[in-house]
Amino acid sequence: MRPQNQSRRNFIKGIIASGAVVSTGGLMFVSGCSETTTTPAPGSVERLISLNINGTIRRVDVLPNETLAQTLRNKLGLTGTKIGCDRGECGACSVLIDGVPNNSCSMLSHRVTGKNITTIEGIASPAGELHPVQRAMIEELAPQCGFCTPGQVISSVALLNNNPNPSREEARQALAGNLCRCGAYDHYLNAVLRAAEEIA
């Protein structure tokens, strides 16, 4: 029995140790300070950059291999932008770059220096008054679980900025890049059309 117990203890120890290693690795990735021992090649990008986010210039230390979604969420505390798939397949991470919806999970942060970035946090007025799109989404009970909602708002705001009076089909096309696993699509479309009426 004893040898068996001992090997069991060793086994558990092994698991704990490897678990610790794994979780440290995870933390290092999230905080973005992994593999910092390599020196960047001459001529490659600076790490300390300025990003213009929601009208404020933010200085931030960004790795060359970091996406905008990671910078926003992990470095700048702007966690309203969601990461669903991290592969361009859901639109949960949508932000406006110079007014145009883009998937922030598929954008290197270094690509957007000098651009105006609007995240979901920048859609309401500075005084906290909700955007007509946001109010309409509440009225229409559009969000179910709410995970896709920030992205739906971003695409809707971009649409109404360009086309204040869209048809339902035009709204459908504009929101086509925002997956909703709860299937609340029609409610989101109702909200876009209601917001359009309100803005008019």
Ligand X SMILES: Cc1cc2nc3c(=O)[nH]c(=O)nc-3n(C[C@H](O)[C@H](O)[C@H](O)COP(=O)(O)OP(=O)(O)OC[C@H]3O[C@@H](n4cnc5c(N)ncnc54)[C@H](O)[C@@H]3O)c2cc1C
Footprint of ligand FES on this chain (CB under 6 A)?
83-86, 88-93, 103, 105, 143-148, 180-182, 184
Distance CA 55, CA 74 (A): 19
Q: Is 145 in the site for another protein (CB under 8 A)?
A: no
Cα–Cα distances (Å) from 82 to 23, 47, 95, in that order, read: 22, 24, 10
Contact stretch for another protein (CB under 8 A) within 13-21, 83-91, 137-145, 191-199 = 83-91
Q: Binding residue for another protein (CB under 8 A) from 51, 72, 81, 103?
A: 103
Grouping H, G, I as helix, E, B as strand and the rest as coil, residue 108 is: strand
- In the complex with another protein, the residue whose CB is nearer, 31 or 165, is 31
Query: CB under 5 to 8 A by kind: which of ligand FES, ligand X, another protein, none does 127 bind?
Result: none
Q: Is 88 in the site for ligand X (CB under 6 A)?
A: yes
Q: Is 164 in the site for ligand X (CB under 6 A)?
A: no
Q: Is 183 in the site for another protein (CB under 8 A)?
A: no
Helix (H) or strand (E) holding 68: helix 68-70
The DSSP letter of residue 104 is G
Q: Report the nearest approach of ligand FES to the CB of residue 126 (Å).
A: 27
DSSP character string of 134-167: HHHHHHTT--SS-TTHHHHHHHHHHHHHH-SS--
Query: CB under 5 to 8 A by kind: which of ligand FES, another protein, ligand X, none does 148 bind?
Result: ligand FES
Beta-strand runs (E) in 41-118: 48-53, 56-61, 94-97, 100-103, 116-118
What is the contact surface with ligand X in residues (CB under 6 A)?
88-89
